[in-house]
Structure formats: C-alpha cells, structure tokens
Amino acid sequence: MKENCGERLTGHGSEWNDAKLSADDAKTATSWVEARVDKRAMLTQKDRVEDVRDVMWQLEKEGEIAVHRIEEQHKPKMVKTLFGWQKVIPTTQLWHHKSCGQCGNIPGYPTSLLWLQNEMDISYLDETDQTSCTAWNYHGSGIGNIVSLAAVFLRNFHQAYVSGKAQGFDDGHYYPLVHCGTSFGNYKEVRKFLLGSPELREQVRKILDKLGRLVDGKLLIPEEIVHYSEWLHVMRPEIAARRTIDVSHIRATIHPACHVYKMIPEDAIYDDDILEGNRVAVSTGLIEELGARVMDYSTWYDCCGFGFRHIISEREFTRSYAIDRKIRVAVEEAQSNVMIGHDTGCITTLDKNQWISKAGGPEKEVSLPVMADCQFAALACGADPYKIAQLHWHASPVEDLMEKMGIDWEAKKAGFEDYLEEVKQGHGESLYDPRLKITSGPGFKKIAAPVN
Amino acid sequence: MHAAGTRVQDFIGDPVSDEPVIARGDLEDVFNDIQADIRYDHDLNGCLNCGICTATCPAAHYYDFSPREIVQLLWTENLEGVYDAMQEKIWACAQCYTCAARCPFGNSPGSLVMIMREVAIKHGMQSAKDVLRPFSRVMLKLISTGNQLAPDMINPEHFADWGPNISKVDAPLKLLRQAIPMPTLNTTETAWEVNLKTSVELYTIWEMTGVLDQLETIDENLFDVIEDIMDEKREDYEDWLEDQEDEDDDDEDD
C-alpha cells in the first residue's frame, strides 16, 4: 500500500491521519462497507419518510389543490418504489417535458425516445410552450429560489394539462413525461415542499393566478411525477419484442443518476427481480430485457462529476472524476463495451470528458462508448444511428459499439451525409406533424386533423 | 481591502482582537437568513459527526470541502465558521445529494449548501460574484430564453478539452440541427424553440420571485442586458396581442 505523503486533499481537515491499515485489513474494512452500501437497506433502514401523495389527496379533498390524475385513457402500468409503495406510470398521451441539456447537446436522446414511441403507436405531444425546469442553473449558481422553482414547475405542468385543447381534447388529455433527471428530482423536491407549506402555496398561487394558470382557482399538482426512464421500464417487454439486433454479447455498465434515485429516494423504482432489488431498477431492467449483459463495477454509486457549475468552470474536477471514478473503472473492472445512463448531465459528462485522458499519455488514455438507455434500445430495435440516434454528436467511440453490434456505421454515416443534402433542400423528415408544436400564442394555427 | 491577511483574518478577523472584521450583527443576519428558509428544518435534523456524508462526497475527494463540516457548523450555530464556509467551501459541492441519501439522520447537506449559496448571493458576497462570473453565459441563456444550454454554446473554443469530436459529421451547425427529426429542435440559439408567450410568462416568474434582484446583486451588467431583452420580448408580445384584437374586430365586422 502506498504511504500517504501528507499532501492528499481529502476535505477532512489537517487533523486527518491515514489509518495505515495493512492490505488485508483495508480489504476487510472496505468489504464491510461495501456489503452495506450496496444494499437497499442503506436507504430503507432510516426512519421512514411520509408519502407526500397522502398529503396531496388530503389537500385535494379539502379543496386546497386540484390534481392532474392518471386515468384509464393514459393506459397506466403499476410499479413499486423503494418502500414497496405503488407508483402509477402513464404509458400513452404523453406530454414531452424536454431537457435543455439533451436537446442542446445530445439530441439523439429525445429523438430515440420519440422514435420508440412511434414504433409502438404511443400518442404524444412535443410543443414550444415549455421552459426548462431552471434547476441546472439553480444547483450550479444559487440564482433562483424555492418559490421560482415551484412556479416554473406548476406553470409547465399546467401547460401539459391544458395542451390538448389545441387539438380539441379535454383538459388532462396529455400527461407530462419528464426527460431530464435533474428536472425529475427537482420537481419532486419542490412538490414535497409545496404540499408541506401553506405559505409557499400562497406565494406561488399569486404568481400562477397572474399567469392565468390556476384550475378553478387552485394550484394543479400532478398525481405522479414520471421520468422517461420509468416509462421505458414499464414498456420494456414491448420494446424488447421489437429488437432486431442481437446484443447478448454486449457488456453494459449502468450509471444510475443521482437526481433520479438519491434525490427523493422513496419515489425511485425498485424491483426484486432486478439486481435483487438492491439498486434502482430503471435502465438495468431495460438493458437486461433487451438481452445485453449488465456488468457490475465498484464505483456504480458514484456521481458522474457533472457538478452543474463544475462542468462549466471547474472542469478539472469534472473530467478527473468522470475519467478516474467512472470510465476507467468500468473499462478495467467490467471490460465494459458501453456505459448506459438515464440523465442529461451524466451522459454529457461521461461522453465528452474522455478525450482529455490522452493528456496523461498512452498508459492513462481510456475510452468507452456512452449513451442513454433509449438510444441503445432504439439501436437494438433497428433505428438509424445517425438520423434517429444522432450519434454523431457523441464524442466517445460509439463506432466501436456499433461495430460490435454488427451495424455498418460507415455506410450509415455516408447515408446520413447524403440525407443532409435533402435537408438543405427543405426535405427533412419529422417524427410527428410539425404543425402540432405550437398550441397557443404567436404562430398558433388550429389544425383539423394532425398527420403523424 | 483585505489584501494583507489570511482568509481567516480577512473574513473572520484576528482571533486575539476584540474587534472582528465582520460585525456580529452581520454574521447574525447571514445566519438568520439561512435559518429562515422553509427547507432548513427539513434538511437539518441533528448530527453525530459520523462522517458518512464526507466519506461518500465526490467534492471531498478533490477540494477542501466536507459536508460533515457544513452540517456541524450549522448545527452548532458557529456563525463565524458558517460565514467563512460561504467564502469558498460551499461552491465546491457538486450537488449530487449522495450525502442526503446516506445520512442516517435524514439531513441534506447538499440542500443546506443551496440555501447558503442563495444567502451568499442575497448578501452580495464577493466570493459569489467571483465564482459565478464564468457561469454568466448559462444565466443569460436561462433568464432570457428559458433554456439553460443551447447548441451554439457547445463549440471547441469553449470546450477545448472535449477534443475534436464535438460533432463527427462535418457540416454547419444550422444544417445539423435542421436534420434532427423533432421540429422543436431545429434551433441553434436555444435547445428548443420556446414560444414568445412562454418566455413572457417566465419573465413574470423571475420578477415576482426576486430572481432578477438576485441577478442585479451579483452582476449588474448582465442584469441590464437581460432587462433589455425582456423589455423587447414583452413589446413583441404586446404587439402580437394587439394584432390579435384587430383581427378579431375584423372578423366581427365581416
């Protein structure tokens, strides 16, 4: 074991001393910790938190709030969360709550999801009347506050509730499906405080009233806040049934996103049949259902290094963490062929921050294809890697994975470059009727019948 | 000016002097603002100094930062220590909330850090201004468009360490964006096309929640730029509303 030279920056303060354990003792101590942190009990052995949905139903009963319900028309499926509570996942009539990081930087993330939904005749709406959740900026800078975050949450979800009107549907026709893990975590945290604080509700009510976004004078709260990875999870048998490429030889590592399951952990999906119920089930369940091999690695629990502000202005931290704590471990321990994630910041961080490992010389260089679960699923189901999965935006060596999957990426890329000529002529393809993207305000025109 | 002193001397004062640099009243104002946040009691339930939060903290691997220390400072109401931590340490946190998931007491050090960051901004601390200067592009984009990241922000000049593969197809950004089969994404200056009405609603939220005041405290120039953009968009929207009324009147006349 290497001796501590006295210059390690651990954050424990100057009084910190190395325990100087022998190699065997260190292994024993580490195993003791790992045996516990790798278990679901790490989260459940604490005092059980309340189910805020109970508070929500009570407030609705008292006439304080309105609830956007998941109804039969949304063809719901049930799942179980950390404490065994049931969560309802709508599977159709979905309002896409887009992610700024995905749309701006990894556009194949949402396009793969919409492509999968088209393949399964899922009804959805993607429109322009949506802001980001504003939480990336908030967590990075501190600009914003609980009131602004709550108002943005309620504005966007109210828009989802009324969005069907443009097509002649009743209120509540579309149900919001949140793409970003940070939006998902942030909205659930905000919901918790909204339901618990009459003062916060009153502050936000004034704002939503001014925006004309109350329902019968009440704040509208969604019955469930649903992440797209949860939709993929409940739809995994239907997705796997559409698989056209054998992926049984692919070794996949999963990076679970902090804001998906560490933030409001009681709402994350756990399944006894997936990783023995010890880790969050989304993504792993889908990748296993598709037939790929999900490989374990010791730093699965670590964050990606995104840090919100760090990826912009503390880049040494972000790239060091991504390379040394995630990518290198997945490659060396698990001999992974691909790392799969389910959140915006993680995919960006892990995908983009590999090239710089070359700076350490050939022995330090490390690389691994990185993509979102829905991109991998779309590829396995025959989606075009460039037109649909938009893999040209990925900096990591996704070509290696495509070769392993038997996809002739060079031919596909050449086909995409030819397609760009058609786009230049104004003949680009769309996953849905473009007229649907504006539901009110400037640019809105009522259409008789959408063409999908 | 605190040029000659150490950080402790600059912000906390000389420990052997009776006169601290930061007046007791100011320290109390800062601490009271932290405690006044509705999340404070939810996020801080007690602490036995077990350190599981720091053991699992990614920022603690790389910075002089410990979530255990943050919790202890707040729990013991160490006003000087809290103020000192707000000068630098709180900005190291990566906001992953691993600490919150693991804390046996159900504390959320990550969330407490957010409260402290908000208060640092409210009090116009120089540390907050310095730390947030490189983040201004994101703030400008967010406040003025409702998107935090846009395709035109991702270029090799800003992200040289991402290497040459920001796009593996050599074509203009505008064309590559038009080739995305989601019509809302055929944009370059925003991640998706945001309706003018939506932007105007967002401005109302910023105004009514004090976010613009925060921004003015931290970066007056950025605030001015954003205010101009907001005014322009509001005027555009007002014009559109007037046009609508005119069209409605014409329809009635017909």
* CATH code of A144's domain: 1.20.1050.140
A154 & A197 share domain: yes
The residue of chain A nearest to residue B114, with distances taken between CA atoms, is A142
Instruction: Residue A13: list chain B partners with CB under 8 A.
Output: 66, 69
From B250's Cα to the closest Cα of chain A, the distance in A is: 17
Instruction: Read off the pLDDT of residues B48-79 as tens digits, 9 standing for 90 and up.
Output: 999 999 999 999 989 999 999 999 999 999 99
A223 & A322 share domain: no
Q: What percent of chain B has pLDDT over 70?
A: 91
The per-residue pLDDT for A378 is 98
A132 to B181: CB separation less than 8 angstroms, yes or no:
no
* Residue B136 in contact with partner chain A when CB distance is under 8 A: no
Q: Is the pLDDT of residue B110 over 50?
A: yes
- Residue A51 belongs to a domain: no
pLDDT band at residue A223, thresholds of 50, 70 and 90? very high
Q: Is B129 helix (H, G, I), strand (E, B) or coil?
A: helix
A250 & A117 share domain: no
- Residue A12 belongs to a domain: no
B117 to A42: CB separation less than 8 angstroms, yes or no:
no
Contact, A225 vs A276, CB < 8 A? no
Instruction: Read off the pLDDT of residues B7-48 as tens digits, 9 standing for 90 and up.
Output: 555 655 566 766 677 899 999 999 999 999 999 999 999 999
A266 & A153 share domain: no
A141 & A250 share domain: no
The per-residue pLDDT for B157 is 81
A87 & A198 share domain: yes
CB pairs under 8 A between A and B: 327
Instruction: Read off the pLDDT of residues A268-281 as tens digits, 9 standing for 90 and up.
Output: 999 999 999 999 99
A220 & A276 share domain: no
Instruction: Read off the pLDDT of residues A97-140 as tens digits, 9 standing for 90 and up.
Output: 999 999 999 999 999 999 999 999 999 999 999 999 999 999 99
Task: Closest CB to A312: pick one of B38, B135, B215.
Answer: B135
Interface test with B, best of A7, A40, A132, A439 (most B CBs within 10 A): A132
A416 to B169: CB separation less than 8 angstroms, yes or no:
yes
A263 & A332 share domain: yes
Q: What is the mean pLDDT of chain B?
A: 90
- Residue A366 belongs to a domain: yes
Instruction: Read off the pLDDT of residues B204-250 as tens digits, 9 standing for 90 and up.
Output: 999 999 999 999 999 999 999 999 999 999 999 999 999 988 887 77
Instruction: Read off the pLDDT of residues B78-101 as tens digits, 9 standing for 90 and up.
Output: 999 999 999 999 999 999 999 999
In sequence order, the 6+-apart residues with CB closer than 8 A to the CB of A17 are none
**Where residue A315 sits, what CATH number does that domain have?**
3.40.50.11810
Residue B10 or A64, more confident: A64
Domains of chain B in start order, with CATH, are 7-123 (1.10.1060), 133-246 (no CATH)
pLDDT band at residue A39, thresholds of 50, 70 and 90? confident
Instruction: Residue A99: list chain B partners with CB under 8 A.
Output: 191
Type of residue at A393? W
* Residue B215 in contact with partner chain A when CB distance is under 8 A: yes
Number of domains in chain A: 2
- Residue A334 belongs to a domain: yes
pLDDT band at residue A8, thresholds of 50, 70 and 90? very low
Residue A352: exposure state from Cβ atoms within 10 A (0-12, 13-18, ≥19): buried
A272 & A400 share domain: yes
A110 & A183 share domain: yes
A357 & A332 share domain: yes
Residue A62 or B144, more confident: A62
Containing structural domain, residue A217: 56-229
Average pLDDT on B128-152 reads: 88
Q: Which of residues 46-105 of B touch A (CB under 8 A)?
A: 51, 54, 56-66, 69, 91, 94-98, 100-102, 104
Q: From residue A385, how far is each of A147, A381, A382, A416 by CA, in Å?
A: 41, 11, 8, 9
Q: What is the mean pLDDT of chain A?
A: 93
Helix B220-253 / helix B136-145 crossing angle, nearest 10 deg: 20
A349 & A263 share domain: yes
Task: Closest CB to A11: pick one of B66, B183, B214.
Answer: B66
